[in-house]
Structure 1
């Protein structure tokens, strides 16, 4: 785990859930590749391939019905149980289908595989969202999704020897194996799941806003870009598969080719995602991020129109497979960021779901009509691709202009929320806009900008942040010191050493020195053990537990004395500084503080419990529902845990024969909250 921590920036306590989700996504991706390759090969080799466009239509129609039914069926159910039950159905159904590959079973399999892939990916991201919070997600989700590219390379290159040994029809059994592993990993991740607070305060503040126009010009531009991508992707996919099936007529040959294709695109996607996406967006902005994919498809389709061979159609399909799921997907996420919260909530599911699915179905129907009723040659379909790609390219320029305007408005209205962004990427326009806000003379604007960027890499603003840190505004300096705790590019170790001597910033600087394990700072931190300020004493004692200090035992004794203090304020101060110090503030001791009659002590213990998210703390947390002064903090803390752990414990407490009347009222109140969410 230490190796993971250094290589991937996986912090203490994150290693095990990170590894489990990494394996889960690897197996999901492997499942998609084996099942997708098999279903395409079977349909194109063993069925009438002229009906392939109708499969696009059928999938759009079926998914429009399946997703609402699935959502209704899974609402209120334990996600791990849902995943395991789904895996049993998905895997169990593929085993008999392996031995029934003929006639109407083949198009049925084609649609069924799509249902499996779509629902499985939705389940994974829901599961991952319950394991890591927004800040952890930005740091880890990109790494976890990188296992998909690794799976594409490993499984793609393994398909040929597998098929040579067992035959292409047995690929569905391999798919079943990977589905089974995802069920196991879903069960293994259960103890790490949490219930994250639904909606931040920044979001709730904007809920009452009225959206005058759901689809303004900016959202229309986004819609056109997404619809163009959907149409072009289906046309290119159809051309690629038909030409490939002509070149490789047998199922085994076709599966081998698809496996090689996924391996090559997986390797390319890995390079683009981890080495190019961030650099391109930070240097050139969303315009380049948006335009790469349509330009590549535009150029490749011109080539295929002129020379209709597999090598020519390989280019636009390669571009679609590599860029769509890497830089293009990341850029689309950035486009949604400045959209008004209410409009985003109402329109994003419609655009990404209903409208996109409709356009994919429309693309399939138009291909079928063109090829069957008008006998249009396959390479002539590239005319449509070229035309739509040209429209797509045109609208990328408009989208970029609207994005900059929307970004500025969002910052002015304080509607920008980076917690909704799942990647650690900042484009050039965003960097420039936030830079301008940081450089404003108004403290309120500066603090808001700092709040915006606290959960994303600070390097683009390192110079400005450093200048502000050394400025006269102490509130701004304190905020920068907090958010730059792990970033020595903003505040160097030497600057931190100097800050330790500053009484106004010392308590924060000591914490930062401890988190950085800055050995050079140990002598200075040790001097604060005898400071007149008790908060500085406690802060120093807690920090020295993470540093190589000869006075670590003295520091531990001091902090234990403070925890045993008769003054609840001093006790609370000590507890809050020991969130990560589980050897000193054990969970058993934390439970004692949670059950302490002082609301000051209990509230500080609740703050620690909310961060630790340990299930054994839940009964003691619930006991605080009896006190109106601890009720709000208790409610927030319980919301950090999965409903599957909290609700049974609440019900169990209700069943106690001699339950306190105040506790009963508190539980009833919190159960109403759970019922309404």
Structure 2
């Protein structure tokens, strides 16, 4: 059998470590990578913050504060140039080399700065101070790019949601450490030598990054990533609301950046006016940064997510401009200008680098996926440098206007800046309101197109968008009602009930069905009863209204239901009244309703029997009517039988659960049984599990059991699927994976990773590679030049298909860890026969996943010759050549990993080649669930061991498969007509 074990033991952690990891929401296998990335980002940030504080102080001492505008304008060019440089490096060098090169290049100029600062009073010193101030922005820009790219390579799309917030706190922790340590460092080594200390920290970060790139070598691709600029997606144009929303995003980020630099300029202006020495300014900036860092860390860890969840995305984003406007107003009307601008900067940075940084990626979620990455890179890549240069020009123009032309004093200029800051903050607030409207419009468009994913978008905004759309009656469709039941089930009644009178009958029906999915509430009774008594209400809506009225009324009027039991009433309404009377009535009323329902169930009219079964589903219990269930299960009407299956599930009639399982076996009732088992939920799990593992049932029925578990999607169902996943093979594994992946909100994926871990997924990938090796070895040892029969060719094709199925299952396993869109794109390209597409698919894979067997997989999917693929698998599967008969025996021994067709082909080849197989394997395959496999075994035994087959024929003639029985009888007739049998 296969030597690869299903699971790999996970490293045991002590209770304290487990508690810490649970507190920070990390899995054990993510802890080391998260810590290393945190240390890398923190060390780089400490060096950058030391350099920023000292360079700012030295700059103010050497130049006037007005020269900061030149820095801002020059920064725009520097940042743009460095971005282009980084992209150029990526096109010519592997990612690992790019990142390490950039990390070292960021640190090396600091040695030159350290030397230049020792030449105070010279032109070299002045140039060094100016260059230092610019280089700080270069360090921030490229180190952030390095950090983001490294994190995206080290963590998959689901891990990064947990790990990256912890990694990103590295800069906040760095602010605290560097801020409080800077005054002591200045006293110890002098302000001119801080550049050398910053160099040491940046080099420490480069060393950590080098260790990470070696420790997790498989995470960094060796290829050079060159996206296809001529692809169809890149040629698409943004239209309509998407283009307008993109423009609003541009304005949003530009306004935010201009405000940041205006506040920064006045902050340093007041420091320059208040303190006379560079050391005093540097110490103040350090202490301020340390205090601000503590508040940032607390807000990031304990407040940001809760605030966003409680008040919603856009209300949270409005907090920064409101805080800036409020503190700006305080600054403009007080004499304490320094502390006023300190307060403005404090609140700006506090909210900007916590709440705004957290919510910024969510703003891009309404953009359709095919445009999203392009829009995001354009907005962030262009808006930031453009606004930096624009802020420099704007500040320079304001200073010229206030100082030279209007002759304002310094305090008046500062107050004028405060007014400008307030104005821009309010303008930013207006942009946010417009952005919210655009966000809503795109959400509505995505709902109409069925493209909305609820995993990343803000649920409060989705709920508000849908409820406003329904309230305006713009497009009250089933999609909106369905979405409302997903994002805000508790608000379905509140939003839908006032709209019921204006809806179409079809929408009234759909809305009432949605309302009945939640507990019925008394406060919605007036609107529902208005429908119930309206003369124009359709029967199906009246029946639903009657049901809701009875369920919502604390004291239901059961006696009034008699009016609806009359034969003149529509059968839909009558069946609803019967069900409610059986649920809420007195014993006498229940008996009356039961008698009416009995008449419906035994009626000669199909429609009455169908509606009677529906009434059974609405009743609390089957009660005495369960006597009619066996008869109805054999009803000549398929619709009656299907409706009854739903009633069995609704009433939890456990003695009839086996009937639901039997319903899966027949095409006519399969869908009804499927839906009934889903409705049954956890109560069906034991039956489904037994069905799934029972080899006597047909394969397609057993696979359907796993599909139903995925549709049930409860915690218990997901847990059971995860347990069965690690012990399954072939089609069963593929079906379970598909079921887990399709569970909404990635609940199945998250639970599976929690249960088996990343190592467990990787182990299953190894299993698939091992099985693939067995299939390729079978093709190699059964060559066409030695076995040229049709049966052998069918077997070789089947084995090749098995190898392809292994690749497909590997891709499905990768979807548990990595972005589905990237994996699907790679799979799509690899399925092409064009070499350029295959190369693109391999490139996508190389840049997407980081498993230890990465190089093996990249070689396997490259359509290489058979011998090369076997050599590529050598690290997992050791190929040992065998004779044809030994290889065939070995393959039959692996029957649990083979498809039914492949196994049947093995027996046909053995029959045509007159090869003997192990008797234990032959007898086991005679019990196989697939009829055509049993047929193949009989055909083999007819040649290989007629005597043994003769003993088995009486049982086989009564086989559950009619074709198998017919073949057995034909063979028996052949033996009789030919005077017996003989052994070969």
Whether these two folds match at TM > 0.5 is yes
Q: What's the CA shift for 1:275?
A: 2.8
Partner of 2:219: 193
- Specify which of 279, 288, 291 is matched with residue 264 of structure 1: 291
Contact 2:61–2:278 (8 Å) recurs in 1? yes
CA separation of 1:588 and 1:344: change in aligned 2, threshold 3 A = closer
CA separation of 1:161 and 1:409: change in aligned 2, threshold 3 A = same
What are the Cα deviations for residues 621-666 of structure 1, in whole angstroms up to 9, with x where unaligned? 99x98998xx99998687444489999879999999x9559989xx
Partner of 1:138: 161
Q: Partner of 1:260: helix, strand, or coil? A: helix
CA separation of 1:412 and 1:574: change in aligned 2, threshold 3 A = closer
Segment of structure 1 superposing worse, 584-593 or 569-578:
569-578
Q: What's the CA shift for 1:404?
A: 1.9
Contact 2:114–2:196 (8 Å) recurs in 1? yes
What are the Cα deviations for residues 317-351 of structure 1, in whole angstroms up to 9, with x where unaligned? 01111111221233433332223556655554444
- C-alpha distance in structure 2 between counterparts of 1:654 and 1:583, whole Å: 22
- Specify which of 273, 282, 301 is matched with residue 255 of structure 1: 282
Partner of 1:120: 143
Q: Partner of 1:75: helix, strand, or coil? A: helix
- Specify which of 80, 94, 106 is matched with residue 78 of structure 1: 94
What are the Cα deviations for residues 78-117 of structure 1, in whole angstroms up to 9, with x where unaligned? 2221121122222122123113122111111111221121
1:650-665 counterparts in 2 under 5 A?
Answer: 659=865
- C-alpha distance in structure 2 between counterparts of 1:233 and 1:575, whole Å: 48
CA separation of 1:308 and 1:55: change in aligned 2, threshold 3 A = farther
CA separation of 1:635 and 1:298: change in aligned 2, threshold 3 A = closer
Q: Does 1:606 align with 2:820?
A: no
- C-alpha distance in structure 1 between counterparts of 2:28 and 2:849, whole Å: 25
- Specify which of 417, 423, 436 is matched with residue 387 of structure 1: 423
Q: What's the CA shift for 1:53?
A: 1.4
CA separation of 1:205 and 1:254: change in aligned 2, threshold 3 A = same
Partner of 2:357: 329
Using structure 2 for the length normalisation, give the TM-score. Answer: 0.50
Q: Does 1:402 align with 2:427?
A: no
- Specify which of 164, 177, 185 is matched with residue 154 of structure 1: 177
1:32-431 counterparts in 2 under 5 A?
Answer: 32-101=48-117, 102-190=125-213, 191=216, 193=219, 210-213=237-240, 216-306=243-333, 307-340=335-368, 347-371=375-399, 374=404, 376=408, 377=410, 378-379=413-414, 380-416=416-452, 426=458, 428-431=460-463
Contact 1:79–1:127 (8 Å) recurs in 2? no
Partner of 1:591: 769
CA separation of 1:466 and 1:240: change in aligned 2, threshold 3 A = farther
- C-alpha distance in structure 2 between counterparts of 1:6 and 1:281, whole Å: 22
Q: What's the CA shift for 1:123?
A: 1.7
CA separation of 1:334 and 1:572: change in aligned 2, threshold 3 A = closer
Segment of structure 1 superposing worse, 644-653 or 104-113:
644-653
CA separation of 1:72 and 1:170: change in aligned 2, threshold 3 A = same
Contact 2:172–2:293 (8 Å) recurs in 1? yes
What are the Cα deviations for residues 380-437 of structure 1, in whole angstroms up to 9, with x where unaligned? 2222212222222233333323322222222222444577x5xxx7352124457999
CA separation of 1:209 and 1:632: change in aligned 2, threshold 3 A = closer
Q: Specify every segment of 5 or more residues in structure 2 that has no aligned partner in the other structure, as ranges.
A: 1-16, 118-124, 226-230, 493-513, 520-651, 662-672, 707-719, 741-751, 777-798, 818-825, 871-984
- C-alpha distance in structure 2 between counterparts of 1:236 and 1:19, whole Å: 34
- C-alpha distance in structure 1 between counterparts of 2:805 and 2:466, whole Å: 34
Partner of 1:548: none
- C-alpha distance in structure 1 between counterparts of 2:24 and 2:128, whole Å: 44
Contact 1:571–1:601 (8 Å) recurs in 2? no
Contact 2:41–2:170 (8 Å) recurs in 1? yes
- C-alpha distance in structure 2 between counterparts of 1:602 and 1:652, whole Å: 14
- C-alpha distance in structure 2 between counterparts of 1:350 and 1:612, whole Å: 29
- C-alpha distance in structure 1 between counterparts of 2:314 and 2:859, whole Å: 56
Q: Does 1:20 align with 2:36?
A: yes
Q: What's the CA shift for 1:314?
A: 0.7
- C-alpha distance in structure 2 between counterparts of 1:571 and 1:142, whole Å: 34
- C-alpha distance in structure 2 between counterparts of 1:351 and 1:654, whole Å: 36
CA separation of 1:404 and 1:625: change in aligned 2, threshold 3 A = closer
Q: What's the CA shift for 1:313?
A: 0.7
Using structure 1 for the length normalisation, give the TM-score. Answer: 0.71
- C-alpha distance in structure 2 between counterparts of 1:371 and 1:399, whole Å: 31
Contact 1:54–1:364 (8 Å) recurs in 2? yes
Q: Partner of 1:99: helix, strand, or coil? A: helix
Segment of structure 1 superposing worse, 358-367 or 288-297:
358-367
Segment of structure 1 superposing worse, 266-275 or 80-89:
266-275
- C-alpha distance in structure 1 between counterparts of 2:450 and 2:705, whole Å: 36
> Could you say which structure has the larger radius of gyration?
2
- C-alpha distance in structure 1 between counterparts of 2:837 and 2:694, whole Å: 36
Q: What's the CA shift for 1:119?
A: 1.1
Contact 1:291–1:393 (8 Å) recurs in 2? yes
Segment of structure 1 superposing worse, 251-260 or 326-335:
326-335
Partner of 2:886: none
Q: What's the CA shift for 1:238?
A: 0.5
Contact 2:768–2:806 (8 Å) recurs in 1? yes
CA separation of 1:469 and 1:110: change in aligned 2, threshold 3 A = same
CA separation of 1:20 and 1:345: change in aligned 2, threshold 3 A = closer
Segment of structure 1 superposing worse, 26-35 or 580-589:
580-589
Higher RCO (CA 8 Å, separation ≥ 6 residues)? 1
Q: Specify every segment of 5 or more residues in structure 1 that has no aligned partner in the other structure, as ranges.
A: 199-203, 471-494, 514-520, 540-551, 615-620, 665-677
What are the Cα deviations for residues 522-581 of structure 1, in whole angstroms up to 9, with x where unaligned? 999799866856868998xxxxxxxxxxxx9xx99x987x75xxxx64687799999948
Contact 1:572–1:601 (8 Å) recurs in 2? no
Q: What's the CA shift for 1:249?
A: 2.8
Contact 2:366–2:442 (8 Å) recurs in 1? yes
What are the Cα deviations for residues 584-641 of structure 1, in whole angstroms up to 9, with x where unaligned? 9577654321322434543454356444699xxxxxx99x98998xx99998687444
- C-alpha distance in structure 2 between counterparts of 1:587 and 1:343, whole Å: 32
- C-alpha distance in structure 2 between counterparts of 1:353 and 1:654, whole Å: 35
